[in-house]
Amino acid sequence: MTLRKILITISLTATFSACTDLDIPPTNILGDEEIFGSNAGVLSNVARIYSRLPIEDFKYYYPSGFNYNGTLYKQMAALTGEAVGRDTQGADNEGFSYWDDGYAEIRDINMLLEKVPAYAATLGEIEAQTYLAEARFCRAFTYYALVKRYGGVPLVTTTIDYPASVDLEGTRLFRASEEAIWDLIASDLDYAIENLPEESPAKGRVNKYVAAAFKSRAMLHAGSIAKYNTVDGTQDQNGTIVRINGVPANRAEGYFKAAYDAAKLVVESNKYALYKGLWEAGDLAAQTRNFRALFMNETSENIFVKYYDETNSSHNYDESVQPNQTKSGGNDSEINPTMDFVEMFDGIAKDEEGHFDNIDDNGHYYLFDSPLDAFANAEPRLRGTVIFPMDTYRGKVIEIRRGIWTGDASGGIPPLASEGNTGNVADFPDPHLHLASALGSNPEIELEAGDPHGDRMRAAGANGPVSNWDFGNVGGIYLAKYLRESGPTTGFNSTQSWIEIRYAEVLLNQAEAAYELYQAGAAGDNYLTVAYNNINSIRERAGATLLSNEVDLNHIDIIRTERRKELAFENKTYWDLKRWRILHEEQNNRRWRILNTFYSTDAQQYFLSVKFQEPRAGFQYLFTFDTRYYYQPIPEAEINKNPNTKQNPGF
Amino acid sequence: MENQYKLLLKKLIKFSLWGTLSQCLLITSIFASEVNKEMNTREFLSVNALWQQEVTVTGTVTSEDGSPLPGVNVVVEGTSQGTTTDADGKYSLQIPDPDVVLIFSFIGYTSQEVPVSARSVVDVNMIPDIQQLGEVVVVAYGTQKKATLTGAVSAVTNDEIITTKNENLQNMLTGKIAGLRVRQNSSEPGQFNSAIDIRGFGGPVLVVVDGIPRDNMTRLDPEDIESISVVKDGSAAVFGSRAANGVIIITTKSGTKTGEPSITYSGNMAWQVPSNYPDLVGAADWMTLYNEKDRHNVDNSNPALKYSPEEIESYRNGTNVSTNWKEAVMRKSAPQTQHTVSATGGNDKITYYSSIGYQYQGSFLQTDAINYEKYTLRSNITAQVSKNIKFDLKLSGISDTRESSPYGSNDIVRAMWLHRPMDKVWYNEEAKQYGMMDWNVILNPVAMMDKDLVGENNYQSKWFQSNASITYDVPFLEGLSLQGLYSFDYTLNDNKEYSKAYTLYLPTGTPYEANTQSVGNSRISRFFYAKNASLWRLQIAFEREFGNHYVSVMNLLENSHYRGDNFYGRRYGVLPVDQLFGGIAEEQQTFQSDDDDALYNYANRASVGRVLYNYKSKYLAEFSYRYEGSSKFPENSRWGFFPAVSAGWRISNEPFWANSTTLNVINDLKLRASYGITGDEDAFAYQFLTGYQYPAGGSRTGLPGGYIFGDSFVSASSSTGLANTSITWYESKTVNIGLDAEAWDGLLGMTVEYFNRNRSGLLETRIESLPGIVGAKLPQENLDSDQTRGFELELRHANRIGDITYQLKGNISYTKTRQIYHEMATAGNSYLNWLQGRNDRNTNIWWGYEGNGRMTNWDDIYYNPVYIGRGSVPGDYEYRDWNGDGWINDLDVHPLAINGQVPLVNYGITLSAQWKGLDLSMLWQGAGRKYVLAREFLYQPLWSNSNAIADFTNRWHPADPNADPYDPATEWIGGEYGYTGSSPNALSDFNIQNAAYVRLKSVEIGYTLPDKVISRIGLQNVRIYGNAYNLLTFTKLRYMDPEFYTTNDTSRNGLVDLGYNYPINKSYSIGISAKF
């Protein structure tokens, strides 16, 4: 039939002529060959792995996670008593779960481990070996971030081939024992130490000693858990009882030894040294400058560093920590060091309890021409770490003041009603006390004739603290560590490098491991001598009082305190307090103590009041650490998806 | 690969052959029946007729009252021969055959087909069209008579559309079509921010303009539109691949073969004002509220008040002046205008419609910092090249420009609302130094819209759209035609963003540097996006009536290809030059977006067929299909088959009905049902592959797009994760049952529809079921399913009383969606399962706290049966202890309301009336089952110490502002809201407001000038009108427009989601249309 013929002819011509091929290759997806077939390609994948390493740096925000893109209102330093913050209202925990991101990182690493060998010839055997060792380092680093939070976690060392060869049930792995995770970390790092070059192929990438330095940290942590942990969690996994929380105590010595040896490898390589570029014996100012410079520069002390630049990656540390006085918009004053922190250091007048001595024998405040005078002889490391009231920063005298007292000072100034008290200063009426309720309503107080400070002075200075919820200082002191002296102070314009591992930590790791081994009576090196030497070299650089002989090193707390002073505000202390299992003792209905600077118009001098952190906006700032948080809860969603994941005790 | 390709080709061929063959079989079977005989005889007769001598027929056409009707089209059926009646209603026409049928048609009247039956004078009395039975409706790939339509298709014509005047065609359709749901989110110029869907099916809705899927519905000039059809059921299957959510078919105007060529101008001027936009408090009220909030502290209820009575009084008596930020930012009205000039005409050989249009919309911002301008051009030409060949060319060009401050309207609105009345616009007005508040970093909104200061963004888009087709009416077989069509569309977006650094001044005079760049003091970015779509189609169609049998068959092949590409460049500037060349080379960037909607390349190929059959227009049947392949899917799951079948029964055509005097008051009654399967390819492309993305997404501040090795930044590559090698179309199966009725000769018309759509294979990842330890990015899989059900009712009434004719049309629709299956893990306990479960449950359930009145006195507080806070005061909110455990906590949360973005119930009533030269049209439109949530500033007075809206002053507070609120002796004054500082739980029904509304969406009054007045000046049909949009609104919703957008999803915290939105407009316009 003609009609039919026409229809068919039309259909056929149409189909064969201008048809579009439906097999259109993607414009934006690359294959294995493009990525693993060249060093530039592998490096892009390696960059991916590094970029998502769980490094708790300037962009780590404990309520939300790593690489946080926002204002850092809450700071980890406020969890340890080093500092107080407006927004950390009590003992707090991570508000996110490092789980999915951790395993995503592990998958990327495992994939690289699986793909690179096939391309080894093209890439070069040495290069390929370096990539593999680097990946093992990164895997250890990631598992360390998991194990310190959760204890034993599912052990994944290959890419889970779902859905091709593994079914849904096959993805529901049990948690491995905590011990197995620590051992995986050790073996991955051993591989890395064995196979990485002596020198990093590029700045920022790891080498043999970075792996060793990190191993000293991880194994010290493992040893601490074995020795101090009290939480025991087990799971019956098809008849086998697996200890998912805690490590057998008999492993402690082995882990400490591993930490000690790894640190020793770094020390004996002589590739790193404590930075003393600006340091001069006996010169407190030079030693202070030296300590500040350490965090701003590329120094011999840097072992593993995460770099930033203006165009591609930047952070907002300066904005968060900036004194209100020097800010140019944005946020400020999120870290306010406490007196509890300050009192750990040498060179400050202290009473019998070790507290800062601000009241004389007659029960009156000591008076100072400048609040700085009270800290003139403080250990340079402290002066390098914090900004005291009237310290100079960015060419400005940082005016931190709680208020002005206009009472009669002729007979000495007796303690204010708020001294040592838990309330807000504004709640203790004193007709002579002039405070600011907010920075925007900061009254100017008339000074007496002839006052060297002029005619008028703002009650709360240029930074506060003020009585109500507002920007500005809330603790009386500012932080100096890592803070730039120049450059923008607002937004994401900071590019300081984050020193994840520095040599001082390795010395401290070695000292702590050595002391633990010494206490355990372990055979081998003269552990006490090593610990003694390491502590003293740290103290010497710090400008602190040296231990006079090995016998003085009679308690682990000496090493721990040294560590807390040296590594303060580097996001390490929180985990230290946790691994020592002493955070609950430190924070048991505790309020942190702050410095309140007042000016007396009559005396024309300052006096320093020490009191507890002031309640604001209804928040009491009372810290109690719940011991179950020594292990953080595994995300509920993961347990729903994988019922074989047993929850940690207490949740 | 090659083999695969061949295989696919074979498959496609097989399908088109199958389609064609099955249709051929059907036709041949009809041929073989009695029809055959009849056909032969008739064919012969008509062929013979051609040889007969031509004769002339004359006559007079009169209207229903007997007066002559000029301008009536008279056409010989089946030909293009025709004429129009003169001023006296007379016509004269040469006809080829004394037995032809003449068709008389005129706007507003029913077309009449009158057999000449060898008469030489044929007089006709036209009957006003108050029924709509004769209507032809545009459906997919063709038109159908409404009378015999079996699918659920609603249509509106130009006249009905343009009674609403708005910048966005979508908003002009609100309330006019049952089941078409439109919700205007904002009236910001150039943003066209409306949510549109069909029957709650969700988006995206396929929009077909002149037969081609296109994305610029919002930009079309309404004057160019002939009609809009909305296909709501399975009969959309011929558009199969993207039709799962329904189809909007837009047809633009074309020329007419008869009638004088004419030029029409229509234009209007409008004044927009914000609709239901909250006012802000002055400083005196602000300070009062602030003091209350300060006082509202049980531990310290008597603090020294921050603002003294004297200070408050100083603002009240005018000594000090508050800043009214709303007035500082927004003007009282904003202009808007639209003009269209069109020319139309034609003859036997060629017909044309062309138009040019212009639209301008200014913004409410004092500086008009945001505005929009659009030019449109359209030319539709049809040429009858020879007796059997017709050539069609439709061209359209649109060019538009949106100008904006570098700050979006959301930023400006937010800053306007959050600034306190004590903050100052100017630090020093003479020196043009803007102020800066000292309590937070919120930039001055007045500065933000000063484009001289802050720079300017400019967004330009250009659309070129074309389709050309050739139709060949095969001469040897009547009713058979072939058509080839090619369409090419090109869209270009050319955006420029120029933002400058500038200085604000704190009250102390300290300068604040805003918008500083790391390099230079300005930033210039250029963005280019080029998108093109090409489509060709070959169609064969056969349409013929054989006695009582009507057959229409169509089969086509369609091929479409879509490509998108883009790049952008950025430089920083030191000098004030707003061009890229003026920027410095340091840190310059060029880049390309690899987003799925910016960089793409995909193609579709389809074979489509349809068979229509009816017997005596009484038993109706239709079958259609689409067989389609998409390059988005892997070879093995690329092809989808989407069939639809429908049937109808016109009961009124049965003799028992027509002969019954009781039943036949219902002149027309049709029962119809349809079932169709449609699909959707709305999946991300290439999920069947696994590979690497390079560079991995990331940003300077959010990281990690890479890492710094050495001294350089190494961009990262990231795995695209798992592949889904069997990803395919999801399927949507829709049942529709409808009933159409016309009764009492058009006095009442009714359409009722019930529908049920089941979707399966909806795309979802296993993110909620696959353990996180797998660690891979997951592909979408065809996992989920849902069900959407509802009904629609449309009632029509038209009548004439004396000189007044009027039409009333009302529609209402209701839709609900239920999730049948959602891929997720089971929670550990039954309570959590109840709380989190989604399977077999209605979607959009709003969980929250149920209110239980207010504490009106101290006894309510002292003896409250549930635990309440220590600081409670009179006026505080009470909640129902839902689980009876004595305190209010998460466990009391239960379903409260529905939280979809579009209301579940939508209705509209259109009234139009004409009296002599006057005409009136009104559209009342409303919605129900819609709830909104106030957030942040709209939720709480002095939110974050910012400003408060005026409504919040209606609150519980002590009569004496200095009294202690915690003193039981204090006398209280009641109010709508709690004492300042007492805010209801954000997720309680105190804050979840019912946004049901009824509004006079549009009203228009027009007057057509008498012919005798205007014909002297060479005009005809001059009409002037006044129109108002959103004139009246009735709602219980407080201080917001019921269509105003805030999201109910509290996990979303963008400025838009929080309600910091440019207002919806209310507009008043006057306009004129005239024909030359």
Which pLDDT tens digit goes with each residue over A68-116?
A: 999 999 999 999 999 999 999 999 999 999 999 999 999 999 999 999 9
The whole-number average pLDDT for the span B365-378 is 96
Write down the pLDDT at residue A209: 98
Alpha helices in B419-469 (DSSP H): 445-448, 451-454
A55 and A66 Cβ atoms separated by less than 8 Å: yes
> How distant, in Å, are the alpha carbons of B254, B263, B380 from that of B224?
9, 13, 10
Q: How close does chain B come to A378, measured CA to CA in Å?
A: 35
Give chain B's mean pLDDT: 89
Element of type H or E holding B470: strand B455-473
State whether B706 and A312 contact (CB < 8 Å).
yes
What part of A 89-128 touches B (C-beta under 8 Å)?
Answer: 99-100, 103-108, 111
> DSSP secondary-structure letter at A65?
B
Q: How close does chain A come to B944, measured CA to CA in Å?
A: 11
Write down the pLDDT at residue A20: 52
State whether B719 and A50 contact (CB < 8 Å).
no
State whether B17 and A11 contact (CB < 8 Å).
yes
Q: With an 8 Å Cβ cutoff, is B3 touching chain A?
A: no
A225 and A250 Cβ atoms separated by less than 8 Å: no
pLDDT digits (tens, 9 = 90+) for B196-212: 999 999 888 999 999 99
Write down the pLDDT at residue B1047: 85
State whether B557 and A34 contact (CB < 8 Å).
no
Q: With an 8 Å Cβ cutoff, is B895 touching chain A?
A: no
CA B496 to chain centre: 27
- The bridge status of strand B600-615 relative to strand B730-743 is unpaired
Name every residue whose Cβ is closer than 8 Å to that of residue A378 and which is 6 or more positions away in sequence: A342, A345, A346, A347, A348
B917 and B929 Cβ atoms separated by less than 8 Å: no
One-letter amino acid of B840 = D
Q: What's the CA gap between B47 and B293, in Å, rounded?
A: 93
A209 and A272 Cβ atoms separated by less than 8 Å: yes
Q: With an 8 Å Cβ cutoff, is B1054 touching chain A?
A: no
The residue of chain A with its CA nearest to that of B540 is: A7
Q: How close does chain B come to A272, measured CA to CA in Å?
A: 19
Nearest-CB residue to B700 (from A24, A492, A639):
A492
Q: What's the CA gap between A554 and A556, in Å, rounded?
A: 7
Q: Which residues on chain A are in Cβ contact (under 8 Å) with B603? A: 20-22, 24
Q: What is the DSSP string of B723-775?
A: --TT---EEEEEEEEEEEEEEGGGTEEEEEEEEEEEEEEEEE-STTTS-GGG-
B1042 and B183 Cβ atoms separated by less than 8 Å: no
A412 and A364 Cβ atoms separated by less than 8 Å: yes
Write down the pLDDT at residue A421: 92
State whether B706 and A204 contact (CB < 8 Å).
no
Cα dihedral B593, B596, B598, B604 sign? positive
Q: What's the CA gap between B504 and B443, in Å, rounded?
A: 8
Q: Which residues on chain B are in Cβ contact (under 8 Å) with A8? A: 17, 20
Q: With an 8 Å Cβ cutoff, is B870 touching chain A?
A: no
Q: With an 8 Å Cβ cutoff, is A330 touching chain B?
A: yes
pLDDT bracket for residue B22 (50, 70, 90): low
Residue given tokens 């925007």 in the structure block: A440
State whether B706 and A441 contact (CB < 8 Å).
no
pLDDT at B304 over 80: no
Q: Which residues on chain A are in Cβ contact (under 8 Å) with B478? A: none
Q: Which residues on chain A are in Cβ contact (under 8 Å) with B707? A: 46-48, 50-51, 204, 313
Burial class (CB in 10 A: 0-12, 13-18, 19+), A631: buried
B654 and B745 Cβ atoms separated by less than 8 Å: no
Write down the pLDDT at residue B5: 45
State whether B710 and A316 contact (CB < 8 Å).
no
State whether B601 and A27 contact (CB < 8 Å).
yes
Closest CA to B458 of B535, B405, B385: B405
Q: Which residues on chain B are in Cβ contact (under 8 Å) with A29? A: 686, 689, 691-693, 720
Determine which of B21-35, B323-337, B380-394, B661-675 has the lowest per-residue pLDDT on average: B21-35
Cα dihedral B21, B22, B24, B28 sign? positive
Write down the pLDDT at residue B43: 41
pLDDT at B3 over 70: no
Backbone angles phi, psi at B275, to 5 degrees: -100, 125
pLDDT bracket for residue B2 (50, 70, 90): very low
Closest CA to B359 of B342, B373, B379: B373
pLDDT digits (tens, 9 = 90+) for B348-371: 889 999 999 999 999 999 999 999
> DSSP secondary-structure letter at A163?
T
Nearest-CB residue to A47 (from B714, B770, B771):
B714
What part of A 491-510 touches B (C-beta under 8 Å)?
Answer: 492-493
Q: With an 8 Å Cβ cutoff, is A41 touching chain B?
A: yes
pLDDT at B94 over 80: yes
A110 and A138 Cβ atoms separated by less than 8 Å: no
Write down the pLDDT at residue A3: 46
Instruction: Give A375-378 contacts, CB < 8 A, sequence gap 24+.
Output: A375/A347, A375/A348, A377/A284, A377/A347, A377/A348, A378/A342, A378/A345, A378/A346, A378/A347, A378/A348
> DSSP secondary-structure letter at A494?
B
Write down the pLDDT at residue B597: 87
Write down the pLDDT at residue B49: 42
Q: What's the CA gap between A31 and B689, in Å, rounded?
A: 9
Q: What's the CA gap between A142 and A105, in Å, rounded?
A: 7
Nearest-CB residue to A311 (from B587, B604, B720):
B587
Alpha helices in B266-408 (DSSP H): 283-295, 309-316, 325-329
Q: Residue B603: beta bridge partners?
A: B561
pLDDT bracket for residue B242 (50, 70, 90): confident
Q: What's the CA gap between B651 and A11, in Å, rounded?
A: 39
The residue of chain A with its CA nearest to that of B302 is: A427
pLDDT digits (tens, 9 = 90+) for B1030-1075: 999 999 998 889 998 888 888 888 899 999 999 999 999 999 999 8
Q: What's the CA gap between A317 and A320, in Å, rounded?
A: 5
Q: Which residues on chain B are in Cβ contact (under 8 Å) with A3? A: 24, 27, 477, 480
Q: Residue A245: beta bridge partners?
A: A233
Q: How close does chain A come to B694, measured CA to CA in Å?
A: 7
Q: Which residues on chain B are in Cβ contact (under 8 Å) with A115? A: none
Q: How close does chain B come to A582, measured CA to CA in Å?
A: 31
The residue of chain B with its CA nearest to that of A30 is: B692
Torsion on CA atoms A424, A426, A430, A436, rounded to nearest 10? 130
Residue given tokens 């709360």 in the structure block: A460
Query: Where in B309-370 does DSSP place strands (E)?
Result: 334-346, 350-361
pLDDT digits (tens, 9 = 90+) for B552-611: 999 999 999 999 999 999 999 988 889 999 999 888 889 898 888 899 999 999 999 999
Nearest-CB residue to B605 (from A19, A314, A488):
A19
Give chain A's mean pLDDT: 94
- Rg (alpha carbons) of chain B, rounded to whole number: 33
pLDDT at B440 over 90: no
Q: How far apart are the first and last CA of chain B?
A: 62
Q: Which residues on chain B are in Cβ contact (under 8 Å) with A30? A: 691-694, 717
- The bridge status of strand B206-209 relative to strand B247-252 is parallel
Write down the pLDDT at residue A7: 44
State whether A310 and B708 contact (CB < 8 Å).
no
Q: What is the DSSP string of B689-735?
A: ---EESSPP--TTT--SEEEETTEEEEP-EE-----TT---EEEEEE
Cα dihedral A277, A278, A282, A288 sign? negative
Write down the pLDDT at residue B706: 93
pLDDT digits (tens, 9 = 90+) for B394-436: 999 999 999 999 999 999 999 999 999 999 999 999 999 999 9
pLDDT at B177 over 90: yes
A276 and A538 Cβ atoms separated by less than 8 Å: no
Backbone angles phi, psi at A95, to 5 degrees: -90, 5
B887 and B993 Cβ atoms separated by less than 8 Å: no
Name every residue whose Cβ is closer than 8 Å to that of residue A606 and which is 6 or more positions away in sequence: A367, A368, A369, A370, A371, A389, A597, A598, A599, A600
Q: Is the bond into A615 cis (omega within 30 degrees of 0)?
A: no
What string of H, E and C letters represents the secondary structure of A406-435?
Answer: CCCCCCCCCCCCCCCCCCCHHHCCCCCEEE
Q: With an 8 Å Cβ cutoff, is B718 touching chain A?
A: yes
What string of H, E and C letters represents the secondary structure of B574-636?
Answer: CCCCCCHHHEEEEEEEEECCCCCCCCEEEEEEEEEEEEEEEECCCEEEEEEEEEEEECCCCHH
Backbone angles phi, psi at B712, to 5 degrees: -125, 155
Q: What is the DSSP string of B49-77?
A: HHHSPPEEEEEEEE-TTS-B-TT-EEEET
Q: Residue B733: beta bridge partners?
A: B677, B758
Q: Which residues on chain B are in Cβ contact (under 8 Å) with A494? A: none
CA B629 to chain centre: 28
Q: Which of A20, A181, A425 to mutate to test the interface with B (most CBs of B within 10 A)?
A: A20
Element of type H or E holding B1000: strand B997-1008
Residue given tokens 């838009």 in the structure block: B1056
Q: With an 8 Å Cβ cutoff, is A50 touching chain B?
A: yes
Write down the pLDDT at residue B826: 87
A279 and A292 Cβ atoms separated by less than 8 Å: no
Q: With an 8 Å Cβ cutoff, is B510 touching chain A?
A: no
Q: Which pTM does this prediction carry? A: 0.82
Q: What's the CA gap between B283 and B784, in Å, rounded?
A: 54
Q: What's the CA gap between A601 and B759, in Å, rounded?
A: 79
What part of A 137-156 touches B (C-beta under 8 Å)?
Answer: 154, 156
What are the residue ranges in chain A where pLDDT is below 50? 1-4, 7-8, 10-19
Q: What's the CA gap between A521 and A519, in Å, rounded?
A: 5
Determine which of B303-312, B983-992, B1066-1075 has the lowest per-residue pLDDT on average: B303-312
Q: With an 8 Å Cβ cutoff, is B691 touching chain A?
A: yes
